[in-house]
Amino acid sequence: MNSTFFFNALASYMVVIDPIGCALIFYSLTIGQSFRSRARTLLKALGIAATIIVLFGLYGQQLLAALGISMDALRVAGGILLFNTAFRMITSEPVPDKPHTQQVGDITVYPLTIPLMAGPGTLTLTVLLMADSGSSIEKSQVLLAAGLTLLATVALSLLAARLRRWLGKTGDEIIQRLLGVLLAALAIQFVANGIRGLML
């Protein structure tokens, strides 16, 4: 087992999916709902997101090959996409303290599953990690890392009210900016690797 590869994959998913940020957004959208209702929504979103990530991980490269898209081109495009996400994380306002006053309806698919749990950044990262994996064990590690991150997102979302009180607005903002910087660095690395591959 390549522990370095696994922990790199886990850290990448943690940064891209951002379980704490997802939990705080989920909290702001579900204030006033019962614990059972929130748990049901989260479990449905978990199942949908996990299915999308697994399918994209197993067949994403074949889809790209059928479309004539090289992995190096995807690395560059994916890196730009991830950098855009990172930029928004660094420059956007944190989740407000006040709850939304509008009725948001069912949030299972949007925005909980897409784009929070299994958005374009997550799917791009999955394909890139699968392409960089050298064995079936490492491919399993990628999916395991994604699964653990999704479970962490669900757990933190169920504890979102306590998490919000503990972090406060300042703590939330610090974590959001820090994760944005880490994601930006990861994005630039993807772009650099893709350009290097395209030029060879």
> Taking the domains of the chain in order of start, what are their residue ranges?
3-199
Q: For the chain, give the mean pLDDT.
A: 85
pLDDT at 61: 87
Above pLDDT 70, what percent of the chain?
A: 92
Q: pLDDT at position 193, please?
A: 87
47 versus 61: the higher-pLDDT residue is: 47
- What residues contact 29, with CB distance under 8 A and at least 6 apart? 100, 104, 107, 111
CATH of region 3-199, choose from 1.20.1250, 1.20.1070, 3.40.50, 1.10.3470: 1.20.1250
The span from the CA of 12 to the CA of 10, in Å, is 5
Tokens of residue 165, six digits: 């009180």
CB neighbour list of residue 159: distance below 8 Å, 6 or more residues apart: 23
**What average pLDDT does this structure show over 62-84?**
84
Count CA within 13 A, CB hemisphere, residue 137. Answer: 6
pLDDT for the residue numbered 102? 45
pLDDT in tens, 135-172: 999 999 999 999 999 999 999 999 987 877 787 777 76
Determine contact, residues 158/42, Cβ cutoff 8 Å.
yes
Better-scored residue on pLDDT, 174 or 15: 15
- Residue 100 reports pLDDT greater than 50: no
